[in-house]
Amino acid sequence: MRDSPTSAARETDAVWHELGLLYALAGEDVRKATMLGAVVFCVTAAAVLISAPAAFSVFGGIWAGPFGAALIPILAGLSFGGGFLGWRSFGFRKRRRSLGRILAAAGEEVRRPTANGLGSYYDTHLILLRCQYHYLLARYGHRAPRSIHLLEEAFGFQPTDGFECGPLNVAPDTPEMRQLRELWDSRLATRQEAGKTVPAMGLKEDRVYRVFPREMTVPMELATRSAYLSISCRMLADRYGEGSAAIPQKLRHKAEKDRWEYAKIARR
């Protein structure tokens, strides 16, 4: 977050955080719609199997022999799941347009949350994003060019940052994190000066990487810390195995700290 935000900056940050929450809820809506469709499919399929006449009476004459019976649960699941998602999507788009107008009045772009820097992001969130970038580089490399380029161009990340994951070498609200934030901000500013815009992002990118700013409530901060510590512990296991014996002595304390903190949060 910004060191000493003005009143206008705080208001803009609040709008970005509301938009981030909207994206988070929209991602949940996809999951809920899928679950609803699956439940309706299973219930309807059971009704068809148990009593074809009952299915006929419930669905008003769709019955058309074995082929029609097979279609009934599929159509029911798609109708209920799709209807729920369509209704929620309408509300999402309406609210996003409203927030977009507020952001535009403040000189921001609703699909480019980093166009004016990283001031709306908490350190905890940036560490998660940088851990995801680190993991993509280590695990997939050139096989995930689009995702890697997105995080580089939208957040100013580069492999030469000095950021380490597995174990982590930075923590939120520390001088080291401040230096990284300034480095990433300076890269974004350089892109702007060169006439390059940061990439537009939306629901698809947020569902995968949580790219829009979030307000760090206690539950959100715990979830975010758990996510980046999980990545760090996974990379530790990939490099050195599950135990600590193979970890170099100079990294052992940091590795044990990551594992201990992750286990502590996971037990909550």
- Give the model confidence (pLDDT) of 33-49 as tens digits: 788 778 877 877 777 66
Query: Over pLDDT 90: what percentage of the chain?
Result: 53
pLDDT band at 121 (very low <50, low <70, confident <90, very high): very high
Averaged over 170-190, what is the pLDDT? 95
pTM over the 0.75 mark: yes
Tokens of 141: 């490399």
Tokens of 127: 């560490």
Tokens of 145: 């060019």
Calculate the dihedral angle through the C-alpha atoms of 96, 115, 121, 234, rounding to the nearest 10 degrees.
100
Residue 201 in this model has a pLDDT that exceeds 70:
yes
Residue 175 in this model has a pLDDT that exceeds 80:
yes
Picking from 48-62, 146-160, 230-244, which range would have the lowest pLDDT averaged per residue? 48-62
Residue 16: partners with Cβ closer than 8 Å, 6 or more residues away: 103, 108, 113, 120, 212, 213
Picking from 69-73, 97-101, 134-138, which range would have the lowest pLDDT averaged per residue? 69-73
Which of 183-192, 229-238, 246-255 has the largest mean confidence?
183-192
Averaged over 67-88, what is the pLDDT? 72
Mean pLDDT of all residues in the chain?
85
- Predicted pLDDT at 100: 95
Amino acid of residue 224: T
> How many Cα atoms are found within 13 Å in the side-chain-facing hemisphere of 194?
10
Please say whether the beta carbons of 61 and 68 come within 8 A.
no
In 50-206, beta strands by DSSP E: none
